[in-house]
Amino acid sequence: MAAKSKGAPNLYGSFVNSAPGGFLANKLGLPKPEKLRRYVAGEPPLPGPVLLGGKGRVAEPLRALLAEDYTFADSLTTGTKYGALVFDATGIGSIEDLSQLFEFFQPAMRSIAPSGRVLVIGTTPELAGSVDGQIAQRALEGFTRSVGKELLRGATAQLVYLHPDASPAATGLASTLRFVLSAKSAFVDGQVIRVGKDDAVAPANWDKPLDGKVAVVTGAARGIGATIAEVFARDGAKVIVADIPAAGEALAETANKVGATALALDVTAPDAAQRLAEFATERFGGIDIIVHNAGITRDKLLANMDEGRWNAVLNVNLAAPHRITQGLVAAGALKEGGRVVDVSSIAGIAGNRGQTNYGASKAGVIGMVNAEAPELAAKGITINAVAPGFIETAMTAAIPLATREGGRLMASLNQGGQTVDVAETIAYFASPASNAVNGNIVRVCGQSMIGA
């Protein structure tokens, strides 16, 4: 798959962002990919104030949770560009109440800043009480996803469902709010995130949320894994980067670059969990975070597929993460309050021609998250997954030109994502403040139409 390169040149994007190309694109109504705002330490989280609306149980706690770093407005002012429109929809209990969405958002839709955010916060539909309440809460999903498809200039829309039994302070929401309402979620669009009822403790410093945590990233020699290691180190973690022995040189390079410790480890080795547990326990006293990023493709139409290709993909992408998580938990190496983050793919949601093995493995990863979440929750461990879409790496650079440009334009954001977009989402799941975020699959795909 990918090498350390950032992928192929974006011919369409460069063209429509040039002067003559831009002129032509405007005339023809062609989409123009916006340069997305991404996280830079010290910069404000949003490109403008938050316009807050809705009369549920979350609006006031939310203001308190974000007061330190955000500016709020309560009414729409002509001429102001808002960094986010946030609507507390937890008070919506009937179909009639849905008109509140129209009343709040319709007049404000042209007042969203580039790379701004739309956020709707509702109550987990199945737990919303009355039949009317459940229907209305479920309706929020179609609303938010459609808004995402209408937003321009790099703005995105998400829906967060909060458990109805969350405490009035709703502190368990803070990490999710700070992810969604920031540049860290640049390529996450049209997603639904479920937050449980537990309270959370804010980190001493939101710019170093992983301070002192021990994190393992598999497949970290290059590509997405190398960037995860970099983001984890930036966020304060002590990082162990693991990859196959053959990738030793690149692994050492990544380790040096980010100040991580390298471990040559084939995740499919029968003793992989044991070796990892011993290594991490000896050096750092255990593991707080494990990211199962190592992954391979061995594409062939099923009719031409050999057993070797099938087995290799299922082993690396699915059997190994499952075995390693189970092994680390059994050995007590993954500490209480631990975080497991898996890497699925939109191919695991939509399926992909020539990828029956890969699609099965990545859908299996989703099954693994669903099945293991309740089991691990009993130990205070969470498990979540990202499902990347088109990410600019050497893997996607190898796709034929027309398909590649198509892949980019298939997203509401009209471009491919960067490896850092996947890494930021993983860091959000990995945060100690994300203890109420369990069993989620979040796509990092710019709201790609594929598998939507």
The footprint of ligand NAD (CB under 6 A) covers 1-2, 218-219, 221-225, 243-244, 247, 266-268, 293-296, 316, 343, 345, 388, 390-391, 393, 395-396
Our CA angle for 360, 361, 362, nearest 5°, is: 95
- Return the number of the residue (88 or 342) whose C-beta is nearest ligand NAD: 342
- Return the number of the residue (175 or 218) whose C-beta is nearest ligand NAD: 218
Q: How far is the CB of 262 from ligand NAD (least distance, A)?
A: 12
Map residue 36 onto helix, strand or coil: coil
Q: How far is the CB of 309 from ligand NAD (least distance, A)?
A: 14
Q: How far is the CB of 181 from ligand NAD (least distance, A)?
A: 25
Q: How far is the CB of 120 from ligand NAD (least distance, A)?
A: 27
Beta-carbon neighbour count of residue 387 at 10 Å?
Answer: 27
- The amino acid sitting at 437 is V
d(CA 116, CA 156): 7
Q: How far is the CB of 13 from ligand NAD (least distance, A)?
A: 16
252 backbone dihedrals φ, ψ, rounded to 5°: -65, -40
- Return the number of the residue (339 or 443) whose C-beta is nearest ligand NAD: 443
- Return the number of the residue (249 or 282) whose C-beta is nearest ligand NAD: 249
d(CA 247, CA 186): 30
Residue 447: closest CA among 149, 194, 113, 152: 149
User: Is-catalytic flag, 358?
Assistant: yes
Q: Which is catalytic among the residues 12, 39, 161, 358?
A: 358
- Return the number of the residue (277 or 343) whose C-beta is nearest ligand NAD: 343
- Return the number of the residue (214 or 294) whose C-beta is nearest ligand NAD: 294
Task: Give the full edge-to-edge strand order of the sheet including 82-88.
Answer: 72-73, 50-53, 82-88, 112-123, 156-162, 191-195
d(CA 238, CA 261): 8
Cβ-Cβ contacts under 8 Å for 90 (sequence gap 6 or more): 54, 56, 57, 58, 121, 122, 123, 162
d(CA 381, CA 341): 11
Task: Give the full edge-to-edge strand order of the sheet including 334-343.
Answer: 261-264, 238-243, 214-218, 287-292, 334-343, 382-388, 441-444
d(CA 88, CA 248): 49
- Return the number of the residue (58 or 316) whose C-beta is nearest ligand NAD: 316
Residue 260 C-alpha from the chain's centroid: 23
Q: How far is the CB of 317 from ligand NAD (least distance, A)?
A: 6
- Return the number of the residue (195 or 224) whose C-beta is nearest ligand NAD: 224
- The amino acid sitting at 188 is V
Q: How far is the CB of 82 from ligand NAD (least distance, A)?
A: 32
Beta-carbon neighbour count of residue 308 at 10 Å?
Answer: 9
- Return the number of the residue (57 or 404) whose C-beta is nearest ligand NAD: 404
d(CA 414, CA 54): 31
Q: How far is the CB of 280 from ligand NAD (least distance, A)?
A: 15
Q: How far is the CB of 16 from ligand NAD (least distance, A)?
A: 22
d(CA 320, CA 187): 28
Structure tokens at 389: 């879409």
Residue 154, CA atoms < 13 Å, CB-side half-sphere: 21
| Reduced 3-state DSSP string for 309-369 | HHHHHHHHHHHHHHHHHHHHHHCCCEEEEEEEEEECCCHHHHCCCCCHHHHHHHHHHHHHH
Catalytic machinery residues? 358
